[in-house]
Structure 1
Amino acid sequence: MQDQNKTPIYLETNGDFRMRELDKGDLDQFNALLQYAFQVTTKELFETGWAQDEIKYAKRPILEEAYVIGWFYKDRLASMIVVYHMQVNVHDNIMDMGGITGVATYPEYAGRGLIHSLMRRVLDYMNKQQMPLSFLCPYSIPFYRKMGWEICSDQLTFNVKDVQLPKARPVPGMVERVSLDSEDYHNVHSYFAFQQHGCMIRDTLSWEEYWRWDNDDMIVAVYYSREHKPLGYVAYYIANEIFHIKEMVYLNLEANYGLWNYISAHFSMITQVKGNNFSGEPMAYLFEDSEITETIAPYIMGRINNVKDFLKAFPYQVTPEDFKIHFKVHDEMAPWNEGDYMVSWHDGETSCEQVEDNQSINVVELNINTLTTMMMGYKRPTYLYDHEKLKTEYYMLTWLERLIPVEKPYFSDYF
């Protein structure tokens, strides 16, 4: 139950349904809906190393540090959504980002538009909190596409047989296993994230989410240079003679070789290596035996919450002098984004302002989905034009290709 000493502040009402922000007093209902909606049983939680009290109270920081709102039906939580305040690297420019998670509804309340209204509410919240971007891990891509989110990155999975592992290469450093909260491990990720487009900047809560559903068998090994400088890591576990890589990050080629030397050193213990690759680039070419198995699947969806702020802050690859481009944007869920945004450059500075929708030259017309995936670099302007995802004069494609950096997002987090 909510704190009885507080008078509930309802954001919306609809008959017996009332929308409000959740607090610590709603912890039991919050946890129950999460477990029901995502089909996580207490038995499964125990098997991944959770104790009874931990299962319940691990979620307390979410209610303290995140924005959580829900619909209540006669004081029973019926539907909810969670927004974390996070940061992400957009072509070397660190932007505030809303991480959306915990989107859940009990089936008896489905079909009433509860999630749709919550989505509108959190979009307004993120806009007012000056978070120009938001990301979510979709359970249904079509569902979120209707509300303006679009695919922004892929997860590539690979399967390497033991006989296909790369031969050892001489490196001056060495690998050491460290704790999951090792400062060296975290520092490598931070350094990587600040130079890798699309990567999330992890704070304490982000690290907790990163490990939340992993079991106690996870191991982290860090590669150190000759001067004992951490240059890379691999997070993994071994089970049933399989080396499972959760994430592998390296800051230079030396660390890459050193980490694969370490993995290959498990040759007598394993029959194969399975792992995740979030770079957007297949790995087969880099193996001497390139007949490895790789699969690709959409991973994260993104959305521009405030077009004006995003286009003004975006680090364009070139800054043409006295050039103007009009982005005519359509966004049904966020009416403040609907309109013509004129981006221009002068003396190396970028400006963006909303103007009257009557322009006839340098116009690029598209919806919020396409604008997001294009600016994030997941799909190139020419590809989107060829598939009729945007409307513009053909000559404008050259400008768009020049303006938007050529780099796919790296996003490895889950929340």
Structure 2
Amino acid sequence: MNQQLEIRNIPNVHFMDSLQMSAFAFQYELTPEKVEKWMTLLDSNQMWGAYVDDTLAAKMTIFDFQTWIQGKAFDMGGIAGVVTWPEYRRGGLVAKLLSHGLRVMREKGQTVSFLHPFQFSFYRKYGWETYAEYKSYEISVQQLPKLGPQPGRIVRTGHDIKLLNGIYEAYASRYNGTLIRNESWWQHRIFGNTQGTVAVYYDAENQPAGYVYYQVKDNILKVHELVYLHHGACLALWRFLADHDSMLEKLVMKAPADDRLPFLLGNPRIKQEIVPYFMARIVDVAGFLTKYPFASGAEWSLQLEVKDEQAEWNNGWFLLQVDESGTARVTPVADASPELPSASCTIQTLAAMLTGYQRPSFLMDIGRLTGTTEVCESLERLIPSRQTYLPDFF
């Protein structure tokens, strides 16, 4: 018997069905408090369901976010809550939801998408690629940094979102792939999901230059977030954390993958791990490249072939013309001209390269990017080097 499939927004009357599906798949208890919280936060316009014979069989959420890339704000679709009931699995429902989601995000002008994968290889099939990792630290109390008094002052604050977000935004814009947070995100996702203390560092000029959000429980200091705008703020905040030594056995935290804390320690042999974290996908190649801030300096043209099996509007050749200011003009073309330099890659490779997660020279060395040495050198010059990082989760 043929089953009827329809992809549509999940209406309010089906929110409870969606919550029960997530609780089952992710194995958590759906308490009355969680139900009340999520029923308030859920937005039907962001929730998509695959209905089989009018029954909700699979679903996903597309959050409307903005992210920093090369110091510029990009509209981003955050994929989350991708779930299928077991009796409907392996029927291609997730593939249809993702395909539909790509069109929805493109229509909204979300030229890039992020997600947290349950399995990296699964989402690579649909065009996403690893873009962010973090460094996980576990530091015994004996290994905490031994620092003298630092200029400035530490002030314990409440949840002063305006103050904290000002510091966070200056910090986050230095990375590729961080979220631009609004007040609701701070309230519900930062402070709503964790407990602890906030301490703000004011430097010698009495300017807020960093903060730490942390919790001490069971002799463990867990740093939820450590943000600083210069090295002096870093030292002052670490001095503050180390002064909790009489209460602790160890400190645990996450940091950007390029964090250099171990070099500052008397004994750098702390427990640390690099953890692959989130994946990125370019939703609209032409739209993304047009907005992308390439390095300024000289005019340059490239014919770029992108291979994208899931989004036909990305699959093919593009003429990329970058002017002296680093602004690109992008034109889809039918075929490559032998008179201009050319390069070719998959949509996954393009995301890894333009988010800054991998450099063009490495991608060419491993065969993920093809082109001449001159093309590779030009891409190395044009794509600014900037660390990727995502301190949030969705």
Aligned partners of 1:318 and 1:403 also within 8 Å:
yes
2:315 matched to 1:327? no
Displacement of 1:196 after TM fit?
A: 3.2
Deviations 1:179-227 (A, max 9, x none): 2354322221122223433221011343355337734x33222212345
Q: 2:246 aligns with which of 253, 264, 268?
A: 268
- Name the counterpart of 1:113: 92
Q: Which amino acid is the alignment partner of residue 285 of structure 2?
A: V
2:276 matched to 1:288? no
SS of the residue aligned with 1:34?
helix
Q: Which amino acid is the alignment partner of residue 39 of structure 1?
A: Q
- C-alpha spacing 1:171/1:212, structure 2 compared with 1 (3 Å): closer
Q: 1:232 aligns with which of 210, 215, 232?
A: 210
CA distance in 2, matches of 1:254, 1:295: 26
Name which of structure 1's ranges 120-129 and 66-75 shifts more when overlaid on structure 2: 66-75
Deviations 1:256-290 (A, max 9, x none): 11111111011110011111012444532232321
Q: How does 1:92-241 map to 2 (within 5 A)?
A: 92-208=71-187, 210-211=189-190, 214-215=193-194, 217-226=195-204, 228-241=206-219
CA distance in 2, matches of 1:90, 1:388: 25
What is the number of equivalent residue pairs in this alignment? 391
CA distance in 2, matches of 1:304, 1:106: 28
Name which of structure 1's ranges 334-343 and 358-367 shifts more when overlaid on structure 2: 358-367
Aligned partners of 1:343 and 1:352 also within 8 Å:
yes
Displacement of 1:317 after TM fit?
A: 1.5
Aligned partners of 2:129 and 2:280 also within 8 Å:
yes
2:46 matched to 1:35? no
Displacement of 1:66 after TM fit?
A: 5.0
Name which of structure 1's ranges 23-32 and 198-207 shifts more when overlaid on structure 2: 198-207
SS of the residue aligned with 1:77?
strand
CA distance in 2, matches of 1:110, 1:282: 44
- C-alpha spacing 1:226/1:358, structure 2 compared with 1 (3 Å): closer
SS of the residue aligned with 1:198?
coil
Q: Which amino acid is the alignment partner of residue 306 of structure 2?
A: V
Aligned partners of 2:128 and 2:280 also within 8 Å:
yes
2:4 matched to 1:20? no
CA distance in 2, matches of 1:209, 1:362: 49
SS of the residue aligned with 1:123?
helix
TM-score, normalised to structure 1's length? Answer: 0.89
- Name the counterpart of 1:317: 295
- Name the counterpart of 2:322: 345
Name which of structure 1's ranges 76-85 and 345-354 shifts more when overlaid on structure 2: 345-354
Aligned partners of 1:169 and 1:257 also within 8 Å:
no
CA distance in 2, matches of 1:278, 1:291: 18
CA distance in 1, matches of 2:15, 2:177: 32
Aligned partners of 1:365 and 1:392 also within 8 Å:
yes
Deviations 1:298-336 (A, max 9, x none): 111001000001111111123422x21111000011110
SS of the residue aligned with 2:245?
coil
- Name the counterpart of 1:88: 67
Aligned partners of 2:3 and 2:53 also within 8 Å:
no
SS of the residue aligned with 1:70?
strand
Q: Which amino acid is the alignment partner of residue 354 of structure 1?
A: P
Q: Which amino acid is the alignment partner of residue 389 of structure 1?
A: R
CA distance in 2, matches of 1:212, 1:333: 37
Q: Which amino acid is the alignment partner of residue 26 of structure 1?
A: H
CA distance in 2, matches of 1:277, 1:336: 37
Aligned partners of 2:48 and 2:59 also within 8 Å:
yes
CA distance in 2, matches of 1:234, 1:38: 30
- C-alpha spacing 1:28/1:129, structure 2 compared with 1 (3 Å): same
Identity of counterpart residues, as a percentage? 30
Deviations 1:341-378 (A, max 9, x none): 11113453421111122333411100000000001110
Q: Which amino acid is the alignment partner of residue 64 of structure 1?
A: D
SS of the residue aligned with 1:59?
helix
CA distance in 2, matches of 1:203, 1:15: 42
Deviations 1:377-406 (A, max 9, x none): 101111111111111112211111101111
Aligned partners of 1:81 and 1:102 also within 8 Å:
yes
CA distance in 2, matches of 1:61, 1:89: 28
CA distance in 2, matches of 1:21, 1:290: 51
CA root-mean-square deviation: 1.9
CA distance in 2, matches of 1:209, 1:33: 21
CA distance in 2, matches of 1:265, 1:309: 49
Q: Which amino acid is the alignment partner of residue 180 of structure 2?
A: I
- C-alpha spacing 1:17/1:381, structure 2 compared with 1 (3 Å): same
Name which of structure 1's ranges 86-95 and 55-64 shifts more when overlaid on structure 2: 55-64
Name which of structure 1's ranges 338-347 and 219-228 shifts more when overlaid on structure 2: 219-228
CA distance in 1, matches of 2:188, 2:79: 12
- C-alpha spacing 1:195/1:297, structure 2 compared with 1 (3 Å): closer
Q: Which amino acid is the alignment partner of residue 140 of structure 1?
A: Q
Deviations 1:27-53 (A, max 9, x none): 2111111111111124xx6xxxxxx2x
Q: 2:220 aligns with which of 227, 235, 242?
A: 242
5+ residue gaps in structure 2?
A: none
Name which of structure 1's ranges 27-36 and 341-350 shifts more when overlaid on structure 2: 341-350
Displacement of 1:65 after TM fit?
A: 7.0
